[in-house]
Amino acid sequence: MIGYTTLGTNDLPRAAAFYDELFALIGIKRIMDFGRGYAWGTGMDKPGFGVMLPFDGKPASVGNGVMVALVVDSQEKVQALHAKALALGGTDEGAPGPRDEGFYAAYFRDLDGNKLNAFCMG
């Protein structure tokens, strides 16, 4: 159902470097360059993730209650993404651990304050 998500940034080079390193941990690479933003994914026919300077030219802001969830296939990858995000300057929003039966997750914010979650089932 989800084709792609996009988060705003006020510093595109900094955001691109953050996501290049973060997504490299799980084999995700840049698949598009828009000039004012980038997209990452495993292919054009799969869901993607983008970071862009806002189209209206106004500053990007964090949406209250907005979160992008990244599915991975192991608890170790959840832990690695969370640790890498913090090492790159992101902030902790919830350490890796079980949240509900069969749901293992970690929460963090990127350099612009956007909230993300890495999770696996099982």
pLDDT digits (tens, 9 = 90+) for 22-67: 999 999 999 999 999 999 999 999 999 999 999 999 999 999 899 9
Q: Phi then psi for 16, rounded to 5 degrees?
A: -60, -40
Alpha carbons within 13 angstroms on the beta-carbon side of residue 98 total 4
Straight-line distance from the first to the last Cα atom of the chain, in angstroms, rounded to the nearest whole number: 22
Q: Phi then psi for 9, rounded to 5 degrees?
A: -140, 155
Give the global pTM: 0.92
Q: What is the mean pLDDT of the chain?
A: 96
Spatial CB neighbours of 5, under 8 Å, sequence gap ≥ 6:
47, 48, 49, 50, 68
The whole-number pLDDT of residue 122 equals: 85
Question: What pLDDT, in 10s, does the model give residues 61-102?
Answer: 999 899 999 999 999 999 999 999 999 999 999 999 999 899
